[in-house]
Amino acid sequence: MSDLLSQEEINALLQGREEGESGSAGVENLLEPAEQDAIGEVSNISMGAAATSLSTLVNQKVTITTPRVSIVDWDGFVAQHTAPYVTVQLSYKEGLEGNNILVLLEEDAKVITDLMMGGDGTNISEELNDLHLSAISEAMNQMIGASATALSSMFKKKIDILPPVAAKIDLQNEKPDAVYTDDHFIEVDFSIKIGDLIDNTLSQIYPLAFAKEVIETFMEHKKMHEETEKKVVSASQSASVPAASTPQPIPQINYTAQVPHQPSASIYSQPVEVQPAQFQNFEMASFMQQKENIDLIMDVQLEVTVELGRTKRSIKDILELAPGSIIELNKLSGEPIDILVNGKIVAKGEVVVIEENFSIRVTEILK
């Protein structure tokens, strides 16, 4: 039996090789480099806003790095994600139509929920339950809500989402709820750090159809933005640079002495109309109006102080004070005392005793 291959076998091998090469090239051509950059930039803006929102929820510093975009199939994705994971399905209801999924480690989900519940992020020993899933759904709702707001601002249109749905999933045996009809999808990986507790990878999965829609929206916005910038630059240049074909006149300088302007006599000869000055009438109605305005502050409380007198002493004298010590004041016995309102002297009076209480009889009102 000959070891040489027949021409038919050689043709079959060549055909198989060509099919394999074309299939590989087809995978690489699912997204052009510019389109991969676009989906990466959109994801970067989204996660930047989401990180700020998550930082507020967990009261920790949250850092999400620049995304890494790749095209993978499900088997390849599962081979790289063997640990227990939590998936969060995100569905857009306005502005964009489609789904994408966030995939994070189960332990990271427990840390985030523990921080949200007031813990220190270390109470992650118990099994993941419905309470954890509800908390992580709320966290993602806040994060993707902030992300949608950022996209709305970028795309200049309203973008809204449905409440996210979190689920614990075994990636080895089942796919997420979102249906992926294509053999390949877009994977965007972020490095996420939360304080000293989390330093792992957060993955975002885009179906090809939804990724194309996001990229198309981004490209349209980018094109409109570039056209607007060109118009602004063109208008600025045309306004600041004079046309080359239009000659500009050379300014002529005349060295002529200027004589101060003398007003003509006709100005002073013109008649001037003089009217008598008019003053406001002080009527009783206006006085009553002022009185009503004063009534508005009649209930304001003021501090009233009675000052018997004053004196100055050295620190040594103050330290030598003891029960029974006598301090002489600057007022004589029987001299009127001062009555102060809010620290200002308004009257003088004398001390009297009424029913065993000291009182002050006002003797003079100061103006």
Span 80-110, pLDDT tens digits: 888 888 888 888 888 888 888 888 888 998 8
Residues 6+ apart with CB under 8 A from 193: 61, 62, 63, 64, 199
Phi, psi of 339, rounded to the nearest 5 degrees: -115, 120
Q: How do residues 303-314 score in pLDDT, each as one tens digit? A: 899 988 889 988
The pLDDT value recorded for residue 347 is: 93
**20-224 CATH choice from 3.40.50.11890, 3.90.1200.10, 3.40.50.720, 3.40.1550.10:** 3.40.1550.10
The pLDDT value recorded for residue 348 is: 92
Q: How do residues 161-218 score in pLDDT, each as one tens digit? A: 888 888 888 777 777 655 455 678 888 998 999 988 999 988 888 888 888 888 888 8
Residues 6+ apart with CB under 8 A from 105: 83, 84, 85, 86, 200
Q: How confident is the model at residue 292 (pLDDT cuts 50, 70, 90)?
A: low
Please give the residue that has the higher pLDDT: either 286 or 266: 286
Q: How confident is the model at residue 256 (pLDDT cuts 50, 70, 90)?
A: very low
Q: Which residue, among 189, 152, 180, 153, has the nearest Cα to 43 in the 3D structure?
A: 189
Q: Cα–Cα–Cα angle for 103, 33, 44, nearest 5°?
A: 40
Span 282-288, mean pLDDT? 54
Please give the residue that has the higher pLDDT: either 23 or 337: 337
**Mean pLDDT, all residues of the chain:** 76
Q: Where do the domains of the chain lie? A: 20-224, 302-317+329-367
The 3-state DSSP class for residue 184 equals strand
The pLDDT value recorded for residue 279 is: 56
Least confident of 48-57, 171-180, 326-335: 171-180
Q: How do residues 11-22 score in pLDDT, each as one tens digit? A: 555 454 444 444
Distance between CA atoms of residues 167 and 137, nearest Å: 9
CATH number of 302-317+329-367: 2.30.330.10
pLDDT above 90 covers a percentage of the chain that reads 4
Distance between CA atoms of residues 87 and 106, nearest Å: 9
Tokens of 117: 């519940």
The pLDDT value recorded for residue 351 is: 84
**E strand or H helix at 228:** helix 208-240
Span 269-275, mean pLDDT? 55
- pLDDT > 80? residue 63: yes
